């Protein structure tokens, strides 16, 4: 487990763009119980926080 945690995981720019597009396309399918739907992470990456 320690070995797996020491290797950084990096996504390519094209992967981030694809994730952002999927997030935008699925806004209408998100249950209201989750609160505000997430924004496109590619365009608004400054506003995301890890919890």
How do the pLDDT tens digits run along the chain, 51 residues long?
Answer: 566 667 677 888 898 889 888 888 888 888 888 788 777 777 766 666 665
**Using the 8-state DSSP alphabet, how is residue 28 labeled?**
G
Among residues 36, 40, 37, 38, which one has the least CA distance to residue 17? 40
How do the domains of the chain map onto residue ranges? Answer: 2-47
Q: By three-state DSSP, how is residue 4 classified?
A: helix
Distance separating alpha carbons of residues 48 and 20, to the nearest angstrom? 12
CA–CA separation, 10 vs 12, rounded Å? 7
Say what the pTM is. 0.54
Specify whether the CB–CB gap between 47 and 39 falls below 8 A: yes
């Amino acid at each position: 487990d320690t070995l797996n945690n020491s290797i950084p995981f990096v996504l390519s720019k094209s992967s981030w763009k694809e994730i952002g597009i999927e997030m935008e396309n699925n806004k209408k399918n998100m249950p209201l119980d989750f609160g505000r739907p997430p924004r496109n992470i590619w365009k608004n990456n400054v506003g995301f926080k890890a919890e």
